[in-house]
């Protein structure tokens, strides 16, 4: 049985927001909590990007709670996402009905790299321009674009996305959880 976004919203309401769920190929997928380190890394990526985007009023940066109804009717929620202002003038009260321009997934201990790469590639197939996979434990990230080989960056490298954000730079070493 293929479920719809309405079914997803009904299930989410019954769960009182205790779980993140997505709609993939007509099936509801329950997402486990991400883990502290991966959530901290996702937040840091979103904070760094948002601090650069907001004063320039270029668009919207959101976290894992923001869902997108993709053109193929899947409803997914990346760990971090960005949408250009001209594509989303106002924040919708519900799910955004488009593919974000940038989406980021951060590997948690329970995640499979294959599943995360597949999720990113599906977003790219639906119109997302850049997908990023971050692996906090191994301290690298991978930049993925449709039809191109992934680019892997690690400590000492600087992430730039000139096709999306000219002049924005993020030193990879700044993403990781600090040790006090």
CB half-sphere exposure, 29, CA atoms < 13 A: 13
Whether the CB-CB separation of 20 and 29 falls below 8 Å is answered with no
Whether the CB-CB separation of 176 and 41 falls below 8 Å is answered with yes
Edge-to-edge strands of the sheet including 80-84?
59-63, 80-84, 102-106, 130-135, 140-144, 151-154
pLDDT of residue 94: 84
Look at residue 1 and tell me if it is in a domain: no
pLDDT of residue 142: 98
Look at residue 59 and tell me if it is in a domain: yes
pLDDT of residue 131: 98
| Angstrom distances, CA of residue 7 to CA of 12, 22, 154 | 9, 11, 41
Domain of 45 in residue numbering reads as: 33-174
Look at residue 52 and tell me if it is in a domain: yes
Task: Specify the number of domains making up the chain.
Answer: 1
Look at residue 26 and tell me if it is in a domain: no
Q: Read off the pTM.
A: 0.87
pLDDT of residue 1: 57
- The pLDDT-based confidence of 35 (bands split at 50, 70, 90) is confident
Look at residue 28 and tell me if it is in a domain: no
Report which secondary-structure segment, H or E, holds 68: strand 68-69
Predicted confidence (pLDDT) per residue in 63-76, tens digit = 988 889 999 989 89
Look at residue 14 and tell me if it is in a domain: no
* CATH number of the domain where residue 107 is located: 3.90.1570.10
Whether the CB-CB separation of 39 and 32 falls below 8 Å is answered with no
Look at residue 142 and tell me if it is in a domain: yes
Sign of the CA dihedral with 5 first, then 53, 171, and 45 last: negative
Look at residue 76 and tell me if it is in a domain: yes
Predicted confidence (pLDDT) per residue in 129-169, tens digit = 999 999 999 999 999 999 999 999 999 999 999 999 999 99
Q: Could you tell me what percent of the chain has a pLDDT over 70?
A: 83
């Amino acid at each position: 049985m293929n479920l719809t976004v309405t079914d997803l919203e009904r299930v989410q309401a019954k769960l009182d927001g205790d779980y993140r769920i997505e709609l993939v190929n007509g099936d509801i997928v329950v997402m486990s909590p991400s883990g502290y380190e991966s959530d901290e890394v996702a937040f840091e990526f979103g904070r760094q990007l948002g601090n650069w985007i907001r004063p320039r009023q270029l668009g919207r940066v959101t976290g894992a709670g923001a869902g997108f109804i993709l053109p193929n009717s899947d409803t997914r929620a990346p760990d971090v996402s960005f949408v250009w202002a001209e594509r989303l003038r106002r924040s919708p009260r519900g799910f955004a009905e488009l593919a974000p321009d940038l989406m980021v997934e951060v590997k948690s201990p329970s995640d499979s790299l294959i599943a995360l790469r597949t999720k990113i590639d599906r977003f790219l197939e639906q119109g997302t321009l850049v997908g990023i996979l971050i692996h906090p434990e191994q301290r690298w990230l991978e930049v993925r674009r449709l039809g191109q080989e992934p680019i892997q960056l690690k400590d000492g490298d600087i992430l730039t996305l000139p096709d999306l954000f000219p002049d924005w730079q993020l030193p990879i070493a700044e993403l990781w959880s600090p040790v006090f």
